[in-house]
Amino acid sequence: MSTVHAQREAGLLTDTDVRIADALAGVLSGGKDGDLMHPVREEMLMRLERAALLDLGRSEATMERVAHMMATGKPLRN
């Protein structure tokens, strides 16, 4: 079990936190086709980053976080 998922089980991270961490790990590892023996080109990293950002930005949880931050100036832990 990864540290992120262990922290979720311990109640330290929310499902949204885990989703963000998984998206970041996907980008940094070169995506599902990433290979330790072959470097990932910058263009591919940018495509992966864009796809992850768009996916996360469309989620209900992200929209709730943004709205809450704008209204209160404090982060929402959802």
**Residue 50 domain-assigned?**
yes
**Residue 48 domain-assigned?**
yes
**Residue 77 domain-assigned?**
no
- Residues 59-76 pLDDT 10s: 999 999 999 999 999 999
**Residue 59 domain-assigned?**
yes
- Residues 16-50 pLDDT 10s: 999 999 999 999 999 988 888 889 999 999 999 99
Cβ(13)–Cβ(4) below 8 Å: yes
The DSSP result for 17-65, as a single string, is: HHHHHHHHHHHHTTSTT-BTTBPPPHHHHHHHHHHHHHHHHTSHHHHHH
Q: How many domains does the chain have?
A: 1
What global pTM score does this model have?
Answer: 0.85
**Residue 78 domain-assigned?**
no
Structural domain of 9: 3-72
